Amino acid sequence: MTLLLAPLPEKGIGLPHDASLHGWRIDALINETSVYVGLLFVIMVAWVVLACLRHGPRHEARFDHGTSTRSIAVGLCIAGAIFFVVDGPLFVNSLILARDVFGNFAKVEADPKSVRIEITAHQWAWVARYAGPDGKFNTPDDIVTFNDVVVPEGTPILFQLVSTDVIHSFNIPNMRAKIDAVPGMVNRVWFEAKETGEFDIACAQHCGLNHYKMKATLTVLPRPDWEKWAAEASANSARDYDPDDREAHWGWDWSEHARI
Partner 1 sequence: MQVIPSEERAAHEELQPIHHEPKSFFFKYLWSLDHKMIGRQFLWAGLGFLLVGGLLAMMIRWQWAFPGKPVPVLGSIFLRSQGGAIGPATYMTIFTMHGLIMIFFAITPVLIGAFGNFLLPLQIGARDMAFPWLNALSFWTFALSLVFVILSLFGELGAAGAGWTTYPPLSTNVGTPGSGQTWMVAAVFVTGVSTIMGGINYVTTVIRHRAPGMTWMRLPLATWGLWLTAILNVLFVPVLGSAALLLLLDRLFGTQFFIAGATASVSGGGDPILFQHLFWIFGHPEVYILILPAWGIVSDLLSFFSRKPANWYRGTVYAMIAVCVLSAMVYGHHMFLTGFTPLLGQSFMLLTLIISVPAELLFLNWLRTVWQGSIRLTTPMLFSLGMLFVFGMGGLTGLYLGATATDIYLHDTMFVVGHFHLTMAAASFVASLAAIYFWFPKMFGRRMNETLGKVHFWITLVCLVTVFSGQLLAGYSGQSRRLYDPYQYTFLKHLLGVNRVASYAAFLLLFAQFIFIYNFIRSLIAGEKAESNPWQVSTLEWFTASPPPYHNYDRIPTVLRGPHEFADPEVRRRLGRDFIGQAEELPEAMPPAVASAG
Amino acid sitting at position 64 = D
Residue 207: C-alpha distances to residues 74, 181, 202 (Å): 49, 11, 12
Task: Report the alpha-carbon distance of residue 210 to residue 215 in Å, rounded.
Answer: 10
Q: How far is the CB of 239 from partner 1 (least distance, A)?
A: 25
Taking the least distance from each CB to partner 1, the nearer of 63 and 112 is 63
Q: Which is nearer to partner 1, 16 or 133 (CB)?
A: 16
Q: Tell me the closest approach of the beta carbon of residue 176 to partner 1, in angstroms.
A: 5
At closest approach, how far in Å is the CB of 217 from partner 1? Answer: 10
Minimum CB–partner distance for residue 155 and partner 1 (Å): 20
**Smallest separation (angstroms) from partner 1 to the CB of 214:** 10
Give 99 or 228: the residue with its C-beta nearer to partner 1: 99
Instruction: Provide the phi-psi class of 47: left if phi over 0, else alpha when psi is between -120 and 50, else beta.
Output: alpha
Nearer to partner 1, 3 or 72 (CB): 72
With a CB cutoff of 8 Å and minimum separation 6, the contacts of 83 are none
C-beta of residue 173 within 8 angstroms of C-beta of residue 244: no
By residue count, the chain amounts to 260
Report which residue type is found at 92.
Answer: V
**Which CB sits closer to partner 1, 72 or 231?**
72
Q: Provide the minimum distance between the beta carbon of 80 and partner 1 in the complex, in angstroms, as a whole number.
A: 7
Distance (Å) of CA 159 to CA 116, 128, 143, 145: 6, 9, 14, 14
For partner 1, give the closer residue by CB, 95 or 231: 95
Specify which residues 117 forms β-bridges with.
130, 159
